[in-house]
Amino acid sequence: MTVMLSPNSNISTWSLQKIRTVPHEAFFFIECACNAWFTFELLIRFLVAPSKMEFVKDPINIIDFTATLSFYADLVVRYSKIAASDNDIIEFFSMIRIMRLLKLLRHSSGLRILIHTFKASVRELILLIFFLALFIIVFASLIFYAERLQYNPENDFVSIPNGLWWAVVTMTTIGYGDMTPKTYVGMFVGSACALMGVLTIALPVPVIVSNFTMFYTHTQARSKLPKQRRKIVAVEKIRPTNPPNARAGLGPELRRGAAIKLNHSARMGKLVSDRLLVHLTLLANHTAIE
């Protein structure tokens, strides 16, 4: 960063000085080959897609198209004279290339389990984020006022927004040490912030872990099931044995005959059960008389 002072005024202007590294030439050819393959793959998937509109609306395809387009735009900028502001915009879109890692979701069962776990634990995650945001604001305000109660020439907390970073780092138990309280009251507030962060994060974690265990166990059980093979039926078994007209003519007669047989079977079954009941009754009476 370069700071320039105007001689005739008290206004200072600054400009950001960027130093761009020059990669090895081999990496450039590897990148060109990879992006050529990505372009070919994207075109083939678009041509064979059954619905072009659904293909365009897919977020993964949007990321692929933007990342591929940013590569060609970067080539144009590299070999032409374009303003720095336009180059910044292209560099911003070049960061979308990292989003191609989301395509691993199609091939990794572990990442899919993780996504399902987050979807099933949305309420717990929202509750966690809510309490974290609440306590971060509270402790950022407390540490700002606590560091001003005593003489502290090396005060790191010059404002409440500046203390938000310290509260986030302390509640998540990271503790970079770039901002530390110097007074006794500030140390007490910092200790309370760390303890509250541990309790806040630890409460919803078992629910998320149980959801992950459930999805992981279900996935492992499904993977161990034997794969079902499709049965191939001969064509002769599928073809009708009778012509359509004959089947249409005999259809009602066959149905009527089946209904008669069904009624006859039901009557015979009832008659047999009645006779068996009579025999059992007579046998019971004869035994009682003896």
Q: Where are the beta strands (DSSP E) in the chain?
A: 2-5, 12-15
| pLDDT band at residue 20 under the 50/70/90 scheme | low
CA proximity to 159, closest of 178, 144, 142, 177: 144
**155 with 77, same domain?**
no
For the stretch 73-115, pLDDT in tens is 878 777 776 555 556 666 666 777 777 777 766 677 778 888 8
- Residue 231 covered by a domain: no
**66 with 139, same domain?**
no
Cβ neighbours for 152, distance < 8 A, ≥ 6 positions apart: 182, 183
Average confidence score pLDDT of the chain? 76
Could you say which of 206, 229, 262 is where a domain stops? 206
- The residue-averaged pLDDT of 37-44 equals 90
Q: Between 191 and 19, where is the model more confident?
A: 191
- Residue 230 covered by a domain: no
- Residue 280 covered by a domain: no
**88 with 121, same domain?**
no
> Worst-scoring range by mean pLDDT, 46-60, 155-169, 223-237, 243-257?
243-257
* % of the chain surpassing 70 pLDDT: 64
The CATH number of whichever domain residue 25 belongs to comes to: 1.20.120
Q: Between 103 and 173, where is the model more confident?
A: 173
27/13 Cα distance (integer angstroms) = 38
**71 with 149, same domain?**
no
The predicted pLDDT at position 253 comes to 55
**143 with 50, same domain?**
no
- Residue 289 covered by a domain: no
What range does the domain containing 176 cover?
Answer: 117-206
- The residue-averaged pLDDT of 119-123 equals 89
Could you say which of 106, 140, 158 is where a domain stops? 106
pLDDT at 287 over 60: no
- The residue-averaged pLDDT of 154-179 equals 89
- Residue 42 covered by a domain: yes
Q: Between 240 and 269, where is the model more confident?
A: 269
- Residue 239 covered by a domain: no
**148 with 75, same domain?**
no
**93 with 164, same domain?**
no
164/170 Cα distance (integer angstroms) = 10
> Worst-scoring range by mean pLDDT, 27-36, 105-114, 147-156, 259-268?
259-268
- The residue-averaged pLDDT of 181-188 equals 91
- The residue-averaged pLDDT of 12-26 equals 65
Could you say which of 74, 106, 138 is where a domain stops? 106
Against a cut of 0.75, is the pTM above it? no
pLDDT at 289 over 70: no
> Worst-scoring range by mean pLDDT, 28-37, 141-150, 186-195, 234-243?
234-243
Please name the helix (run of DSSP H) or strand (run of DSSP E) that holds residue 223, with its range, or none: helix 205-224
| pLDDT band at residue 261 under the 50/70/90 scheme | low
**68 with 35, same domain?**
yes
- The residue-averaged pLDDT of 185-208 equals 91
Count the domains in the chain: 2
- The residue-averaged pLDDT of 59-74 equals 82
The predicted pLDDT at position 205 comes to 86
Cα-only R_g, the chain: 38
- Residue 167 covered by a domain: yes
The predicted pLDDT at position 192 comes to 94
282/290 Cα distance (integer angstroms) = 12
CA proximity to 89, closest of 100, 103, 101, 76: 76
Contact (Cβ atoms closer than 8 angstroms) between residue 193 and residue 167: yes
The CATH number of whichever domain residue 176 belongs to comes to: 1.10.287.70
- Residue 83 covered by a domain: yes
The predicted pLDDT at position 5 comes to 46
